[in-house]
C-alpha cells in the first residue's frame, strides 16, 4: 500500500524496472539452525558462483530444478521463492525472512517486490500490501492498525476516508489477503521492541492472518529461523553479474571495462567485496571519474565521499579550484557541515540511529541553512518524504549505512586526544562499532598516539596492555591492525608478549576476509610457538581465495609449524581448494582434519594428504563429495597410511565406490572406523563392502545408510557371521545403521 492517487504513468514507480537481478538461495523448514547459520555466513563470503552451483543452475529466466544443498535451492527469479504465498489457502499465516550483508540489496529487493505486486506479477492473492521501513521513527512509534493505515494516507479527504475503510477491513479479516513487508529488522532498536506493534505483527499477535516478509542482517534475525516458512539469503553478484555490471556501466568504453576487471583480479581484498552491489556501484563510480583505486575499503569510501562532495559543489556552482582528496581540507562552504555530520554519525552509531529528522540535522549542522543546496549534506544524505493524514514530514538518512560508519571513523580520527581515547575505551571492542573502527585503523594506519595510549592502557606509548593479549580474538585483531598498517615492530611485540598456554587458536564464527587469512598465516609463522594443538576456523568464510592465501603464507614460507587438529568446516571451500588443503595438512603434520559443510564436489586433490604419516582422522560431512573424490581417498588408503577414522557421511557417494572400498578394506591395516551413512549407496553395494571385511581385522565400526528391514537383516547377518569368525581374535565389528 502506498500513495492513493495513482495513474498508469506514476504507479508503480518506473525506476524499479531497472532492478539488477541478484542471486538468491532459499531454505526449507527442515534446515537446522546450525545449517542456516552456515549458509548465512557463506552468503556473505563473496564466492557466489560455487554456492549457486551447489544448489542448482543460476541462469537468469531459467526454471530451476530443485537441487538440494541441505534442503536449499538457488534462483535468480524472485517469484520462485514468493510462490508459497500465492499457493497458500490463507488458513495459516506465512512469514519469509530475507537476510544479507550490508549493501547487498535487501531494501531495494522489498521495493521491487512491492513494484512487482503492483504490476500483478507476484503475490496475486494479496489485496493490500504495506511496505514499512523499520528505521523510520514514525514506523517505530506505531501502536495500532489505525496508525499503520494513516501512515500511508496523504493529506486528502478521499485518502483519509479510504484509510478508515482499509483499517476496518483489516480489523474485520485479521489481515487475511494482506502482505506486510518489514524492511530492516536489524535497524529496529532492541530497546523499542518490547511491546512493539511491529513485533506484534511479526509474531502474528496483531493481524494474525496476514503474510509477512521481513529483511535483516543475519546477526539480528537468528531468533526467527525456527519460526518462518522460508529463509532467503541474498548472495549478491555472481562473477558473471559483476562483469556484466561493469560492461554495462562502462558501455562504449570496452578498454576501460577490461582494465577495471584486471584491477579486481590483481586486488583480492577489493574483489572479495564486489559481490555487494553497493560496493560495486561505488567502485564503478570512482573509476568513471578516473580516481586512483587502492586495495583498501577505507580508502575506497574516502575517495567516494570526497568525489561526492566535489560533484555536489560543482552542481551548486561552488566548484573548488583544486581536487578534494582530504576531508580535513575542504572548502570553507562545506568544511564545518561535513565535520558536524561526522560527529552526528558517531553519536548516532552509538545509539543505533539511522534516520534523522530535519530538526536533528539543523541542530547538528547549524550552518546547513546558510549554504544553498546543502540540506542533503552535499550529496551524503538522502531525504525521504512521509505522508500521514494530517501532514507531510521529511526525514534524512545517509546514502548508505557504510558511509555513516566511515564518517564516524573520520570523526574519531579527528577528535581531541582525550576524547578520542574515551571513545576507544567505550566502544573499540563493540560489535556495533567493529566496521567503523576497522575503517578508523585504515585511515590512521594505527599510528595515532591516542590509539597507542589506549592500547597501553595509559602506561606506555609503545606497549600493549596485558588484558588485550589474553583474549585470542582481541590479540589477533590487534595483530591484523598493525600488520595492515605495516608496523612490523608492533607485530613483533604482540607475538613476543602473547602467551597461549593451551596452544589453541580458536577463531570460530569470525568472518575472515582474504587479507585476514593471509595475516593469520604470517602470525603462525612469526609466533615463537611452532607447535599448536588446535586451529579452529569453523564458519570463518575463508573460501577458496582465503585458503589459497593461507597456503601461500604458511606453506611457501617454509617455516615449520605443527598443528595437531585443523578445522576448516563451513567455509564454502570447493574442489579448487583441495590441493591447498592437502599440502597444508602435510606441511603442518596434522593428526585430525574437519572439512564438514563445504562444497568439494569432484576432486582428486584431497588424496594427497593421506601421504602424511601423522594423519589419523578425517571428517568430511555434508560437503557434496562426489563418488570419484571418495574413490581417490580409498585408493590412497591402500598404501601405508596411518588413518584410523574416515567419516564421509551426507555426501554423494554412489555404488561405483563400493568395489574400491572393498578392495581397500582387504589390504588396509590401520582404519578402525568408516562412516558412509547418509550416502546413496544400495544395500547390494554395502553387502559388497561388508563381505570384504572377512579379510580385514582392523575395522571396528562401520556406519551405513538406512535400508528396508529385509536388506538390513541380510547385512546384519553377514556382520554376525564375520564376528563369529573373529571371536578368537576379540576384534568385533560394530555395525551402526543410519536411522536419520
Q: Do 141 and 218 form a contact (C-beta atoms < 8 A)? A: no
pLDDT of 61 higher than 50 = no
Top-ranked range on mean pLDDT: pick from 282-296, 535-549, 693-707: 693-707
Contacts of 487 (CB under 8 A, 6+ apart): 445, 446, 447
Q: Do 602 and 628 form a contact (C-beta atoms < 8 A)? A: yes
- CATH for 311-337+348-405 is 1.10.10
Q: Do 739 and 709 form a contact (C-beta atoms < 8 A)? A: no
- E strands present in 175-297: 178-183, 211-216, 230-236
Q: Do 605 and 574 form a contact (C-beta atoms < 8 A)? A: no
pLDDT of 68 higher than 70 = no
Answer with the residue of higher pLDDT: 511 or 689: 689
Q: List, for residues 633-654, the tens digit of each pLDDT value.
A: 999 998 778 899 999 999 999 9
Task: Give mean pLDDT, residues 425-449.
Answer: 84
Alpha-carbon distance of 569 to 579, in angstroms, equals 16
Task: Give mean pLDDT, residues 149-174.
Answer: 73
The b/e string for 461-500 (b: 16+ C-beta within 10 A; e otherwise) is: eeebeeebbeebeebbbbbbbbbbbebeebbebbbeebeb
Which among 661, 721, 722, 650 is positioned nearest to 689, based on CA atoms? 661
- pLDDT bin (cut points 50, 70, 90) of residue 627 is very high
> In this predicted structure, which of 41-55, 332-346, 411-425, 586-600 has the lowest mean pLDDT?
41-55
- CATH for 14-236 is 3.40.50
Edge-to-edge strand list for the sheet holding 23-27: 72-75, 23-27, 230-236, 95-99, 211-216, 178-183, 128-133
- DSSP letter (8 states) at residue 459: S
- DSSP letter (8 states) at residue 230: E
pLDDT of 62 higher than 80 = no
What are the structural domain ranges in the chain? 14-236, 311-337+348-405, 625-740
- pLDDT bin (cut points 50, 70, 90) of residue 3 is very low
pLDDT of 92 = 74
pLDDT of 54 = 54
Task: Give mean pLDDT, residues 477-497.
Answer: 79
Task: Give mean pLDDT, residues 703-725.
Answer: 87
- pLDDT bin (cut points 50, 70, 90) of residue 23 is low
Q: Do 617 and 642 form a contact (C-beta atoms < 8 A)? A: no
Query: What mean pLDDT is reported for the chain?
Result: 80
Name the percent of the chain in helix, strand, coil, to the closest 5: 50, 15, 40
Alpha-carbon distance of 733 to 690, in angstroms, equals 10
- pLDDT bin (cut points 50, 70, 90) of residue 544 is confident
- pLDDT bin (cut points 50, 70, 90) of residue 56 is low
Task: Give mean pLDDT, residues 374-397.
Answer: 73
SS3 per-residue string spanning 75-141: ECCHHHHHHHHHHCCCCCCCEEEEECCCCCCHHHHHHHHHHHHHCCCCCCCCCEEEEEECCCHHHHC
Task: Give mean pLDDT, residues 54-78.
Answer: 49
Cell of 697: 581385522
Q: Do 547 and 515 form a contact (C-beta atoms < 8 A)? A: no
Angle between helices 297-315 and 401-412 (to 10 degrees): 100
Answer with the residue of higher pLDDT: 105 or 566: 566
Q: Helix (H, G, I), strand (E, B), or coil: what is residue 570?
A: coil
- pLDDT bin (cut points 50, 70, 90) of residue 658 is very high
pLDDT of 685 = 93
Q: Helix (H, G, I), strand (E, B), or coil: what is residue 378?
A: coil
Q: Are strands 562-567 and 128-133 parallel, antiparallel or unpaired?
A: unpaired
pLDDT of 219 = 63
**90, burial (CB in 10 Å: exposed 0-12, middle 13-18, buried 19+):** middle
Query: Which element (helix H / strand E) includes 245?
Result: helix 239-249
Alpha-carbon distance of 276 to 270, in angstroms, equals 11
Task: Give mean pLDDT, residues 173-182.
Answer: 90
pLDDT of 15 = 38
Q: Do 224 and 97 form a contact (C-beta atoms < 8 A)? A: yes
The b/e string for 582-612 (b: 16+ C-beta within 10 A; e otherwise) is: bbbbbbbbbbbbbbbbbbbbebbbbbbbbeb
Q: What angle do CA 345, 351, 355 make, to 5 degrees?
A: 60
Alpha-carbon distance of 436 to 731, in angstroms, equals 60
Q: List, for residues 214-267, the tens digit of each pLDDT value.
A: 998 766 776 787 788 888 877 777 777 888 888 888 888 888 888 888 888 777
pLDDT of 459 = 67
Q: Do 506 and 472 form a contact (C-beta atoms < 8 A)? A: yes
pLDDT of 69 higher than 50 = no
pLDDT of 116 = 86
- DSSP letter (8 states) at residue 654: -
Task: Give mean pLDDT, residues 39-66.
Answer: 44
Please give the share of the chain, as a percent, with pLDDT higher than 70.
Answer: 82
Count of CB atoms situated within 10 Å of the CB of 158: 11
pLDDT of 316 = 78
Alpha-carbon distance of 310 to 495, in angstroms, equals 44
pLDDT of 40 = 44
Task: Give mean pLDDT, residues 63-69.
Answer: 32
Q: Is the peptide bond before 58 cis (omega within 30 degrees of 0)?
A: no
Count of CB atoms situated within 10 Å of the CB of 71: 17
pLDDT of 236 = 77
CATH 3.40.50.300 assigned to domain 625-740? The reply is no
311-337+348-405 matches 625-740 in fold: no
Amino acid at each position: 500500500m502506498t500513495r492513493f492517487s495513482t495513474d498508469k504513468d506514476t504507479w508503480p514507480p518506473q525506476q524499479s524496472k531497472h532492478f539488477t537481478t541478484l542471486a538468491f538461495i532459499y531454505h526449507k523448514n527442515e534446515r537446522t539452525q546450525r545449517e542456516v547459520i552456515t549458509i548465512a555466513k557463506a552468503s556473505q563470503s563473496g564466492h557466489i558462483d560455487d554456492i549457486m552451483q551447489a544448489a542448482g543452475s543460476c541462469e537468469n529466466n531459467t526454471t530451476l530444478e530443485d537441487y538440494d544443498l541441505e534442503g536449499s535451492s538457488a534462483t535468480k527469479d524472485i517469484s520462485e521463492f514468493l510462490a508459497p504465498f500465492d499457493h497458500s489457502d490463507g488458513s495459516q499465516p506465512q512469514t519469509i525472512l530475507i537476510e544479507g550483508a550490508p549493501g547487498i540489496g535487501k531494501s531495494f529487493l522489498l521495493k521491487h517486490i512491492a513494484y512487482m505486486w503492483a504490476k500483478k506479477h507476484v503475490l496475486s492473492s494479496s489485496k493490500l500490501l504495506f511496505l514499512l521501513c523499520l528505521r523510520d521513527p514514525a514506523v517505530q512509534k506505531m501502536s495500532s492498525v489505525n496508525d499503520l493505515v494513516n501512515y500511508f494516507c496523504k493529506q486528502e479527504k478521499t485518502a483519509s476516508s479510504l484509510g478508515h475503510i482499509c483499517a476496518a477491513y483489516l480489523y474485520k479479516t485479521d489481515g487475511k489477503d494482506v502482505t506486510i513487508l518489514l524492511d530492516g529488522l536489524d535497524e529496529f532498536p532492541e530497546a523499542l521492541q518490547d511491546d512493539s506493534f511491529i513485533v506484534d505483527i511479526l509474531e502474528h499477535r496483531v493481524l494474525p492472518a496476514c503474510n509477512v516478509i521481513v529483511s535483516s542482517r543475519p546477526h539480528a534475525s537468528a531468533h526467527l529461523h525456527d519460526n518462518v516458512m522460508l529463509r532467503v539469503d541474498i548472495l549478491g553478484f555472481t562473477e558473471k553479474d559483476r562483469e556484466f555490471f561493469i560492461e554495462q556501466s562502462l558501455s562504449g568504453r570496452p578498454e576501460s571495462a577490461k582494465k577495471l576487471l584486471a584491477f579486481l583480479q590483481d586486488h583480492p581484498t577489493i574483489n572479495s567485496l564486489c559481490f555487494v552491489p553497493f560496493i560495486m556501484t561505488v567502485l564503478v563510480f570512482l573509476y568513471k571519474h578516473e580516481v586512483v583505486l587502492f586495495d583498501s575499503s577505507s580508502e575506497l569510501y574516502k575517495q567516494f565521499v570526497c568525489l561526492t562532495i566535489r560533484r555536489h559543489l560543482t552542481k551548486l556552482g561552488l566548484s573548488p579550484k583544486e581536487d578534494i582528496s582530504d576531508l580535513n581540507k575542504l572548502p570553507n562552504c562545506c568544511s564545518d557541515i561535513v565535520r558536524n555530520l561526522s560527529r552526528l554519525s558517531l553519536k548516532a552509531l552509538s545509539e543505533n540511529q539511522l534516520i534523522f529528522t530535519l530538526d536533528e540535522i539543523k541542530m547538528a549542522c547549524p550552518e546547513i541553512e546558510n549554504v544553498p543546496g546543502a540540506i542533503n549534506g552535499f550529496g551524503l544524505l538522502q531525504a525521504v518524504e512521509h505522508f500521514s493524514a494530517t501532514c507531510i514530514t521529511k526525514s534524512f538518512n545517509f546514502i548508505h549505512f557504510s558511509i555513516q560508519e566511515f564518517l564516524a571513523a573520520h570523526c574519531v580520527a579527528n577528535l581531541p586526544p582525550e576524547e578520542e581515547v574515551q571513545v576507544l575505551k567505550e566502544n573499540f571492542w563493540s560489535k556495533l562499532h567493529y566496521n567503523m573502527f576497522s575503517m578508523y585503523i585504515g585511515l590512521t594506519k594505527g599510528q595515532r598516539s591516542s590509539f597507542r595510549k589506549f592500547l597501553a592502557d595509559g602506561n606506555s606509548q609503545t606497549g600493549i596492555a596485558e588484558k588485550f593479549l589474553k583474549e585470542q580474538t582481541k590479540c589477533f585483531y590487534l595483530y591484523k591492525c598493525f600488520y595492515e598498517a605495516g608496523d612490523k615492530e608492533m607485530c613483533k611485540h604482540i607475538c613476543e608478549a602473547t602467551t597461549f598456554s593451551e596452544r589453541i587458536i580458536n577463531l570460530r564464527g569470525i568472518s575472515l576476509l582474504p587479507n585476514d587469512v593471509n595475516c593469520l598465516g604470517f602470525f603462525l609463522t612469526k609466533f615463537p610457538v611452532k607447535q599448536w594443538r588446535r586451529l579452529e576456523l569453523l564458519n570463518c568464510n575463508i573460501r577458496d581465495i582465503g585458503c589459497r592465501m593461507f597456503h601461500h603464507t604458511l606453506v611457501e614460507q617454509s617455516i615449520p609449524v605443527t598443528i595437531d587438529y585443523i578445522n576448516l568446516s563451513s567455509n564454502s571451500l570447493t574442489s579448487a581448494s583441495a590441493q591447498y588443503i592437502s599440502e597444508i595438512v602435510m606441511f603442518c603434520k596434522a593428526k585430525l582434519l574437519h572439512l564438514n559443510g563445504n562444497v568439494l564436489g569432484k576432486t582428486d586433490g584431497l588424496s594427497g594428504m593421506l601421504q602424511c604419516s601423522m594423519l589419523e582422522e578425517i571428517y568430511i560431512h555434508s560437503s557434496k563429495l562426489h563418488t570419484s573424490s571418495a574413490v581417490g581417498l580409498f585408493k590412497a588408503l591402500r598404501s601405508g597410511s596411518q588413518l584410523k577414522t574416515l567419516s564421509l557421511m551426507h555426501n554423494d557417494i554412489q555404488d561405483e565406490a563400493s568395489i574400491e572400498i572393498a578392495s581397500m578394506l582387504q589390504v588396509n591395516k590401520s582404519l578402525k572406523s568408516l562412516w558412509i551413512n547418509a550416502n546413496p549407496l544400495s544395500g547390494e553395494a554395502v553387502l559388497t563392502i561388508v563381505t570384504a571385511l572377512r579379510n580385514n581385522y582392523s575395522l571396528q565400526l562401520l556406519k551405513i545408510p538406512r535400508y528396508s528391514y529385509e536388506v538390513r537383516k541380510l547385512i546384519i547377518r553377514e556382520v554376525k557371521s564375520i564376528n563369529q569368525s573373529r571371536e578368537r581374535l576379540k576384534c568385533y565389528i560394530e555395525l551402526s545403521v543410519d536411522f536419520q
